[in-house]
Amino acid sequence: MQKDRGPSPVRSPLLDAASQGSAVQHGFFSRVGGVSSGIYSGLNVGLGSDDNPEFIRENRSRVSGWFGLAPDRLTTLHQVHSPDVHVATAENRAERPKCDGVVTCYPGLAIGVLTADCGPVLFADAKKGIIGAAHAGWRGALDGVLENTIAAMERLGAERDAIIASLGPSISSLNYEVGPEFVARFTQADPDNEKWFSPSSRQNHAMFDLRGYTVSRLEAAGVTADMIDACTYADEKAWFSFRRTTHLGEPDYGRQISAIAMTED
C-alpha cells in the first residue's frame, strides 16, 4: 500500500448533494493514505490500538488536514457502545467522553467516529450548519444512539426533515453470523426485527443485516438516509475489521474514521 498518497475518503452522493453551497464536508476514510504498518497498515486512527502512537497521531493529522484543519480540531470519542451523545464545542474539543454520538454547530471542527465493522453514520442539516456522527454497532443501534443523535441536533436548531444521514462502510450480512441469544434480544425488542435475520449454514445461528437495520432506524426516525455499499470484512485492503482479525487470530486491529466538518468560520 502506498503511504504518500494522502487520505482518499469515500463520500455519500446524497450528503454531497445536500451540502452543495455550504461549508459542510465529509468523508468515510479507508486505510488508504496512512503511515502505519503491519496489521495496522495504512490510516489507522485508533487511539485504543497498540499501534505506534506517533503513527496514530500522524494519521489523525492527515485526516484533519484533509479538511484543511489543524490536528487539534479533530474531535473523537471514547466509544463504549452506548446510546449517549456529546455536544462538541471549541472549548471541549480535546475531551473524549464515553459516548457514541457527537454533534456540533461550531465551524472549524471535524467530528468523527471510529469503526472496524460497526456502522459509522454521518448527519448534516447543511442549511442550519449543524452536523453529527454516530458509532452504531448492534447495541448502540438497538438502544437508540441514532435517534439520540438526531434529537441532539434538533436541540442545537436542526430541523428533522432537513437532516441527511449516511451510513458508511460496515460489515454486511454475508459476513455477520450471530447466535440464537442475539436473535432473541432483537425480536423481544420488536418482533418485526425478525426480518433482519436470514438462515446461516450453522445450526441455530443466523446472518444479521446490521446495515439494513441501521438504515431502517434512520428512516423511521424521519430523516433521509443512504448507505455506502462496502463491507469492511470482505475488503481487507480497504478497511479494518474486528471480526476478520478475530477469525485470522491476529492480536489487534486498526480503526478507520468517518468524519464531518464545517470548514468555514
Residue 249 backbone dihedrals phi, psi, to 5 degrees? 75, 25
Q: What is the CATH number of the domain that holds 161?
A: 3.60.140.10
Angle, alpha carbons 258-261-265 (nearest 5°): 165
Residue type, 195: K
Element spanning 49, H or E: none
Query: How far is 186 from 117, CA to CA, in rounded Å?
Result: 19
Angle, alpha carbons 114-117-122 (nearest 5°): 50
Domain encompassing residue 238: 13-170+226-262
Residue 203 backbone class (left: φ over 0; alpha: ψ -120 to 50; beta: rest): beta
In a domain, 215, yes or no: no
In 3-state terms, what secondary structure has residue 123?
Answer: strand
Comparing C-alpha atoms, which of 237, 169, 244, 234 is closest to residue 1?
A: 237
In a domain, 137, yes or no: yes
Overall number of domains in the chain:
1
Burial class (CB in 10 A: 0-12, 13-18, 19+), 155: exposed
Element spanning 151, H or E: helix 145-155
Query: How far is 132 from 106, CA to CA, in rounded Å?
Result: 11
In a domain, 213, yes or no: no
Side-by-side strand order, sheet with 24-28: 24-28, 256-262, 109-115, 74-75
User: Could you tell me the pTM of the whole model?
Assistant: 0.97
In a domain, 175, yes or no: no
pLDDT at 87: 98
In a domain, 1, yes or no: no
| Cell output for 127 | 442549511
Query: How far is 226 from 215, CA to CA, in rounded Å?
Result: 7
pLDDT at 6: 87
Q: What's the sign of the alpha-carbon dihedral 167, 170, 176, 182?
A: negative
In a domain, 46, yes or no: yes
In a domain, 188, yes or no: no
pLDDT at 2: 39
pLDDT at 265: 55
pLDDT at 264: 67
User: Tens of pLDDT along the chain (265 residues)?
Assistant: 334 568 999 999 999 999 999 999 999 999 999 999 999 999 999 999 999 999 999 999 999 999 999 999 999 999 999 999 999 999 999 999 999 999 999 999 999 999 999 999 999 999 999 999 999 999 999 999 999 999 999 999 999 999 999 999 999 999 999 999 999 999 999 999 999 999 999 999 999 999 999 999 999 999 999 999 999 999 999 999 999 999 999 999 999 999 999 986 5
In a domain, 180, yes or no: no
